[in-house]
């Protein structure tokens, strides 16, 4: 195999992994300039009879369609090719240079709460897109998340176990249940309904919650017992200092009954975004050590780090039923380390934390009050040190409880409690990312002036950070300032040539000014760049309807509905378009569907009333 070109164009460099159903290889694409690297997944078909080959072909066709649909997202590997050769099946995917999250989540080394919240938000943001495409991943776990080196972002891999909800003839529209009869996933990250072969979107939410619990407790999920009465995971005893708001969110994510969980990643993400700012805290307490470089010091968390790390390939998971032994599956037997070609050793971990002993605290309590001023100065002087520690692999956590009791010679109320936002003390590139995420949170809460100010701070920290300009654009649209919004979107596109979200937002700004043809052209460009983006199809259909091109509007809206059937606006626009074509029965059906989704949606109420009056119902 290594002596030939796969598919006539892929030259094998080395094997990356091998499992019961597939093998993965790192290859060069000799048909493209500079022979870029990519990853080839080969399905191993043991039995070449017609039935087995047909099943293998169906599985790979399904995976290829899903990867093509989802690969337009910047944190999901793009599909390069999909081909069959000599009754073998191959997928060629984008190669991601980075390190798997499984290298960072070490047993017995719990993460800080801050770091867990930020991780969960990042994973749920990707998964929200996946669920928006009516896809259930079914195998969320640390080894299927890669921290990409070039920008520090997580990439979700391994879509071999996916299920497209809309492909099921026995789909339950309310729950997202499918007619799958084989349990696929990884033991410890699978909820009970997935074991039964009936995954929902909330099954992925469960897995993300387990990921958070594993990081927070430092324990593999298989080692956490269930409550014998409720069957809920009894994980809180292993993280006694977790805050109540975060614990409540995690509890809901991992409920035994899927009906008690957040139904999709979007709802879970919203709950996390409403938590108190995880980077705020009280000064003068405790530093929690969390080695952010992962196992044996590998894996940069921030862009710009010059730490040499192992390279994790983009591998796709085969359907693996009930994979045991922590979170491993047969697809991931290779653990790249410093002995591997092209990998350099990193610096060793830092020493464990040291805390103030009770004897020292007792001695301190006997000092005169003037020592409080000295102590306060010392605490403030350590902020720079604390930031440096956090930047190099520590997470700073503060425990107000340590200020209570008779350890210190004063009551908490007698001492100011300044809020220190360590995100504002980060180096410029990281500060820009942090502020932009804060702006996103404020924008989602409808706090547009605050969001705009935060995005402006992000731009001030790093003048070429495209997501901050996009945030400005969206916020200015919300503030009805379309001319300024267009300028902000143009800045985003100047710094990121491939940015479908910025194209779409610029179209929103043009539409807000009444420049419908300009908006339509931008929406069409967005559709070409990212066919999976539901919102751009909806925008396109809405503008086409405003232009009186109702037949074209219906075609565009049908594309939107195929990607998200739960949008009351999409159904209403379809109803308006069918109304304009005198298809009143269809208009009523569309309006009633919209009102099922949102009974208070006024445009749908008005449309249904007009249609009924016209046909005399």
pLDDT tens per residue across span 77-100: 888 888 888 778 888 888 888 888
What is the pLDDT at residue 177? 42
- What would the pLDDT profile of 339-381 be if each residue is shown by its tens digit? 333 322 333 333 333 344 444 444 434 444 444 444 444 444 4
What percent of the chain is predicted at pLDDT more than 90? 35
Q: Which of 300-304, 384-388, 460-464 has the highest mean pLDDT?
A: 460-464
Q: What is the mean pLDDT of the chain?
A: 74
Active site residues: 139
Best-predicted range by mean pLDDT among 107-111, 247-251, 308-312, 605-609?
A: 247-251
Lowest mean pLDDT among 429-433, 462-466, 513-517, 570-574: 429-433
Note the pLDDT tens digit of each residue in 456-504.
Answer: 999 999 898 888 999 999 999 999 999 999 999 999 999 877 788 899 9
Give the domain CATH number at 521: 1.25.40.10
Residue 182's pLDDT is what? 54
Whether pTM > 0.75 for this model: the answer is no
pLDDT digits (tens, 9 = 90+) for 544-575: 999 999 999 999 999 999 888 889 999 999 99
Same domain, 165 and 253: yes
pLDDT score recorded for residue 24: 85
Burial code of 2-27, b = ≥16 C-beta within 10 A, e = fewer? Answer: eeeebbebbebeeebbbbebbbbbbb
**CATH code (residue 244):** 1.10.510.10
Helix, strand or coil, per DSSP, at residue 381:
helix
Which of 36-40, 200-204, 430-434 is predicted with the least confidence, judged by mean pLDDT?
430-434
Q: Which domain holds residue 72?
A: 5-94
The total domain count for the chain is 4
Asked whether residue 221 falls in the same domain as residue 284, the answer is yes
In a shared domain, residues 588 and 473: no
122, 269: one domain: yes
The C-alpha atoms of residue 2 and residue 15 are separated, in whole angstroms, by 9
Q: pLDDT at position 1, please? A: 44
Q: Is residue 68 part of a domain?
A: yes
Contact 39, 336 (CB under 8 A): no
Per-residue pLDDT band for 542 (boundaries 50, 70, 90) equals very high
Which range among 30-44, 159-173, 323-337, 562-576 shows the weakest confidence by mean pLDDT?
A: 323-337
148 and 187 within one domain: yes
Those residues whose C-beta lies under 8 Å from the C-beta of residue 54, and which sit 6 or more positions away, are: none
Mean pLDDT for 309-329 is: 34
* Same domain, yes or no: 119 and 224: yes
Asked whether residue 304 is domain-assigned, the answer is: no
**Residue 345: count of CB within 10 angstroms of its CB:** 12
- Higher confidence at residue 585 or residue 420? 585
Does any domain span residue 412? no
**DSSP letter, residue 78:** P
Residue 27 has pLDDT above 80, yes or no: yes
**550 found inside a domain:** yes
Same domain, residue pair 131 and 27: no
CATH number of the domain where residue 55 is located: 3.30.200.20
For residue 274, pLDDT over 90 is answered with: no
Q: Are residues 57 and 144 in the same domain?
A: no
pLDDT at residue 539, rounded to an integer: 96
Residue 395 three-state SS: strand
DSSP state of 221: G
The full DSSP string for 99-148 is: EEGGGT--TT-PPPHHHHHHHHHHHHHHHHHHHHTTEE----SGGGEEEE
Given a cut of 70, is residue 319 above it in pLDDT? no
Same structural domain, 197 and 156: yes
Given a cut of 50, whether residue 193 has pLDDT beyond it is yes
Do 515 and 581 share a domain, yes or no?
no
Query: Average pLDDT in the 395-422 region?
Result: 39
Residue 226 has pLDDT above 60, yes or no: yes
């Amino acid at each position: 195999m290594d002596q030939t070109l796969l598919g006539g164009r892929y030259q094998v460099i080395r094997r990356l992994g091998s499992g019961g159903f597939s093998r993965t290889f790192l290859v060069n694409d000799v048909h493209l300039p500079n022979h870029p690297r990519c990853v080839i997944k080969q399905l191993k078909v043991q039995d070449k009879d017609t039935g087995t080959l047909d099943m293998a072909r169906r599985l790979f066709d399904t995976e290829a369609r899903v990867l093509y649909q989802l690969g337009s997202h910047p944190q999901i590997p793009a599909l390069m090719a999909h081909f069959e050769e000599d009754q073998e099946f191959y997928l060629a995917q984008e190669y991601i240079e980075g390190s798997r999250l499984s290298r960072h989540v070490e047993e017995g080394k719990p993460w800080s709460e801050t770091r867990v919240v930020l991780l969960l938000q990042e994973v749920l943001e990707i998964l929200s897109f996946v669920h928006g495409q009516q896809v259930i991943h079914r195998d969320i776990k640390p080894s299927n998340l890669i921290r990409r080196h070039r920008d520090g972002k997580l990439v979700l891999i391994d879509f071999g176990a996916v299920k497209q909800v809309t492909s099921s003839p026995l789909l339950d529209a309310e729950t997202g249940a499918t007619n799958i009869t084989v349990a696929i996933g990884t033991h410890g990250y699978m909820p009970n309904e997935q074991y039964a072969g009936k995954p929902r979107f909330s099954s992925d939410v469960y897995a993300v919650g387990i990921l958070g619990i594993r990081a927070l407790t430092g324990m593999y999920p298989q080692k956490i017992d269930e409550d014998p009465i409720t069957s809920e995971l009894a994980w809180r005893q292993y993280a006694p200092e977790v805050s109540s708001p975060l614990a409540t969110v995690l509890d809901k994510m991992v409920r035994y009954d899927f009906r008690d969980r957040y139904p999709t990643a979007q709802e879970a993400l919203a709950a996390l975004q409403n938590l108190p700012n995880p980077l705020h805290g009280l000064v003068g307490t405790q530093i929690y050590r969390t080695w952010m470089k992962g196992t044996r010091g590998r894996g940069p968390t921030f862009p710009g780090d010059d730490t040499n790390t192992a390279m994790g390939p983009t591998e796709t998971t085969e359907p693996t039923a009930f994979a045991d032994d922590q979170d491993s599956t047969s697809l991931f037997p290779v653990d790249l380390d410093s002995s591997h070609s092209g990998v350099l050793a990193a610096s060793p971990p830092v020493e464990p934390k040291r805390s103030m002993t009770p004897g020292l605290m007792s001695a301190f309590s006997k000092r005169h009050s003037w020592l409080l001023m000295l102590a306060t100065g010392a605490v403030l002087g350590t902020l720079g040190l604390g930031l440096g520690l956090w930047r190099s692999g520590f997470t700073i956590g503060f425990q107000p409880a340590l200020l209570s009791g008779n350890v210190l010679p004063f009551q908490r109320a007698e001492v100011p409690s300044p809020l220190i936002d360590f995100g504002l003390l980060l180096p410029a590139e990281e500060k820009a990312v942090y502020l932009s995420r804060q702006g996103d949170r404020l924008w989602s809460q409808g706090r547009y002036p605050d969001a705009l100010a935060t995005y402006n701070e992000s731009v001030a920290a790093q003048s070429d950070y495209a997501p901050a300009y996009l945030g400005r654009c969206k916020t200015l649209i919300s503030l009805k300032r379309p001319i300024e919004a267009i300028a902000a979107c143009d800045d985003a596109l100047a710094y990121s040539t491939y940015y479908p979200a910025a194209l779409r937002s610029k179209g929103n700004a043009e539409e807000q000014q009444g420049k419908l043809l300009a908006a339509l052209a931008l929406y069409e460009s967005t559709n070409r760049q990212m066919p999976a983006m539901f919102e751009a199809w909806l925008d396109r259909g809405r503008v086409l309807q405003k232009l009186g091109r109702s037949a074209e509007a219906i075609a565009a809206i049908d594309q939107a509905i195929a990607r998200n059937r739960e949008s009351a606006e999409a159904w209403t626009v379809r109803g308006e378009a069918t109304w304009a074509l005198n298809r009143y029965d269809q208009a009523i059906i569309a309006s009633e569907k919209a009102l099922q989704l949102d009974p208070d949606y006024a445009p749908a109420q008005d449309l249904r009333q007009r249609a009924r009056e016209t046909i005399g119902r």
